[in-house]
Structure 1
């Protein structure tokens, strides 16, 4: 079983992926270190280099769980793709605890409001794509939900739409 978990930073990908790997007895492939090794001068990851290194890391693996916000940017072989989502007000608090710079925090909030990871995932992958809201759910609850979806392929993910937050955000920005 090959499971990809993506989503904006702060949605719970790492915690969920590690717990899910333990519950399912599947290898967790940590590619976060790969990304930090190949950042360019602007502290952005070179997506093509990242993809090559991820593909190399996954070579020969038949069962794995992998997570990263950049996995929505390109296609990998997968049986299930989960896009974790979090309400922007909750995401702002989570990213604030990580001491994100204001510009980076705002970029991630806007990405979440615009469904960036979902749209990129839909463009790059075929098959079983599920959005899951993580705000108001514990890691265990999210993992349990993923397990139910994996076992019963007829189950659906959540319908997530944060466009109203974008409208509110734009109003606030124009008033400043």
Structure 2
């Protein structure tokens, strides 16, 4: 099982759709969580569901047919994946994308700060044995999906540590 993760707005869903059209088995993690009720409660302040990460992980530990499955979603790095690919986007570009999607100011600020501070990358490194990162800032969705395929097939390595936007918040 491969995870494609990243802050909302980095291009996970778009890249996954391209991969699906190429014949890859894709699971949208957000839909899976909603369909199975794998959340604890709704956080009114943040306007989002709080996922029961332990139950979610158990679901996938016990699942059959995980081979050749790509799980796309900003929590996929909490699953028992062989490889996790973290999509990254420069905070200014991420802000632009989230505005275009209609996110409110509080959610934009929260996600831009999380991206600048490497939150998802750090979580992935804490939870996964093989982590890669791709800067999607100036790449087309097709380019991103091709890089993902190369990483999955073992033709390319894209180790973490080459992207640093911490100066964007200071």
TM-score grouping bracket, smaller chain normalisation: 0.7 to 0.9
- Alignment partner of 1:81: what SS? strand
Aligned residues: 162
Once the two structures are superposed, residues 55-101 of structure 1 have per-residue CA deviations (whole angstroms, 9 ceiling, x without a partner) of: 279433321111111223x241x232100000011100111112212
Deviation string 1:23-64 (CA, Å, 9 cap, x unpaired) is 3x2211122223345361313322336615752794333211
The alignment's C-alpha RMSD in Å is 2.3
Q: For each residue in 1:127-152, what CA deviation from the matched residue of structure 2 results, as whole angstroms up to 9, or x when unmatched?
A: 2x111000110011111122223334
Alignment correspondent of 1:33: 31
2:142 corresponds to 1:140: yes
Equivalent residue, structure 1, for 2:168: 165
The 3 A distance-change label for structure 1 pair 133 and 97 is same
Q: Structure 1: give runs of 5+ residues left out of the alignment.
A: 168-176
* Over 6 Å off, 4+ runs: none
Return the structure number with greater helix share.
1
Work out whether residues 42 and 50 of structure 2, in 8 Å CA contact, stay in contact via their aligned partners in 1: no
Output the CA distance in 2 between the equivalents of 1:155 and 1:142.
Answer: 14
**Residue-by-residue CA offset, 1:92-115 (whole Å, 9 max, x unaligned):** 011111221211111101100000
Question: What's the TM-score, normalizing by structure 1?
Answer: 0.81
Structure 2: stretches of 5+ with no match in the other structure: none
